[in-house]
Amino acid sequence: MDKSFRALADPTRRRILELLRDRDLAAGEIAAEFPMAWASVSHHLQILRDAELVLSRREGQFIRYSLNTTVFHDVVQHLLDIGTAGRRKGA
C-alpha cells in the first residue's frame, strides 16, 4: 500500500493514470502527452508498475499499459476504512 501512495503523490504519475482511465495506451502514446524525455516517462511508468497501479503487456514491438482497477479498489477501501475508524473514535 505504501508504494501505491508514494506513486500517487506525483502529479505526472496521476496524469498518466488519468490518460489510462478511458483506454489502454502504448508507452509511446503516453510519452507523447508529456514535454519530457522518454526516459523520464519510462521511469514514471516503472514506478506505477512497481506499485501495481498499472499493468503492462507486450503486443509485438509495443508495450501497452492499463489501469489495475483491483489495486485502486484496495487503495480506496483503505482510505474509507481510515475515515470510518476516525468517525467511530470521534463519536
Is domain 2-90 annotated with CATH 1.10.10.10?
yes
Cell 521511469 maps to which residue? 43
- Tell me the pTM: 0.85
- pLDDT per residue as tens digits for the range 5-57: 999 999 999 999 999 999 999 999 999 999 999 999 999 999 999 999 999 99
- List the chain domain ranges: 2-90
Looking at residue 67, its pLDDT comes to: 96
User: In sequence order, what E strands does 1-91 have?
Assistant: 25-26, 54-59, 62-67
Phi, psi of 24 (to 5 degrees): -70, 145
* Cα gap 42→82, rounded to integer Å: 33
| In 17-83, beta strands by DSSP E | 25-26, 54-59, 62-67
